[in-house]
């Protein structure tokens, strides 16, 4: 009886927590989405900041399979071609992958969570130099967890290392990820490094790199009267925090966020972008 009562109490606490999370959610309902689209159409200088994985495309077991589909390419290409509209892709992906996937679109790119910036028609540049001498020691730790976690693998970027466990069994992957995060936390305690826990990944990078700093590079380029940023995980919170007061900030998924609005999935992000494209197309035809 005591055990049963304990379970009931736990269930109530979980339900209260779930209610609290949903009470903080500000869903971007159709009427508000239409207002956003109308606002977009009426403004003269527009900046759109978009995360990639989990925001424009779904997560997949093998990261290399998340290439943009034809519809997404068409939408980004169309929006980017509109007068006084700038589209910036802000991703944790490495710069080589982004450059390959987006070579036909020529939008502004931010890679590796803000480590690299490539403006339209330009070359890749960093905002500041970042150390890489920590990689060998950290890689040894990651390799030990790869050996103990079937399906896990390491991805190396210019200024970061990533431990992926999306292809591992759910229970074991989560346990090992928690152990690894704790191990890295102790190991990097006096190092200028940051540990990012994303969707089935743990990434270690230089602490001075974040999406918000990179977003500011574009926010400061003009007096934008329409700004919209969309992202799905906590690395995108730095982008949301950097936005001006009048900006539309949208988180994909639920939970605590500084974003003003939430949508349920990448499908709703596609719906927003389709509407922006349709309004631009209608405007051009009149």
Query: Strands 46-50, 193-198: parallel, antiparallel or unpaired by DSSP?
Result: unpaired
Judge whether 51 counts as a catalytic residue. Answer: yes
Q: Measured in Å, how far apart are the chain's first and last C-alpha atoms? A: 72
Q: Give whole-number Cα distances, 160 to 163, 173, 267, in Å.
A: 10, 21, 30
User: Which one of 11, 21, 39, 51 is the catalytic residue?
Assistant: 51
Residues paired with 191 in a beta bridge: none
Q: To which residue do tokens 């943009």 refer?
A: 68
> For residue 93, which phi and psi values (nearest 5 degrees)?
-65, 155
Just list the catalytic residues: 51
């Amino acid at each position: 009886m005591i055990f049963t009562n304990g379970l009931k109490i736990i269930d109530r606490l979980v339900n209260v927590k779930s209610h609290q999370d949903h009470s903080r959610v500000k869903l971007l309902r159709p009427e508000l989405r239409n207002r956003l689209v109308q606002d977009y159409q009426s403004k003269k200088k527009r900046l759109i900041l978009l995360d990639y994985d989990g925001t424009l495309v779904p997560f997949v077991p093998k990261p290399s399979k998340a290439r943009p589909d034809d519809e997404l390419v068409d939408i980004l290409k169309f929006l980017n071609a509109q007068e006084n509209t700038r589209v910036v892709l802000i991703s944790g992906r490495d710069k080589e992958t982004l450059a390959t996937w987006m070579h036909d679109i020529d939008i502004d790119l931010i890679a590796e969570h803000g480590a690299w910036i490539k403006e339209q028609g330009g070359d890749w540049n960093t905002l500041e130099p970042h150390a890489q001498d920590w990689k060998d020691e950290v890689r040894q730790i990651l390799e030990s967890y790869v050996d103990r976690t079937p399906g896990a693998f390491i991805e190396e970027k210019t200024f970061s290392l990533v431990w992926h466990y999306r292809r591992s069994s759910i229970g074991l992957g989560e346990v090992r990820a928690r152990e690894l995060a704790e191990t890295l936390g102790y190991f990097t305690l006096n190092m200028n490094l940051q540990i990012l826990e994303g969707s089935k990944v743990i990434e270690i990078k230089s602490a001075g790199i974040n999406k918000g700093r990179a977003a500011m590079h574009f926010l400061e380029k003009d007096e934008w009267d329409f700004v919209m940023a969309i992202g799905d995980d906590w690395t995108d919170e730095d982008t949301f925090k950097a936005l001006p007061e009048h900006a539309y900030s949208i988180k994909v998924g639920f939970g605590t966020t500084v974003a003003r609005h939430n949508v349920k999935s990448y499908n709703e992000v596609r719906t927003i972008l389709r509407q922006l494209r349709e309004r631009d197309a209608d405007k051009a035809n009149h």
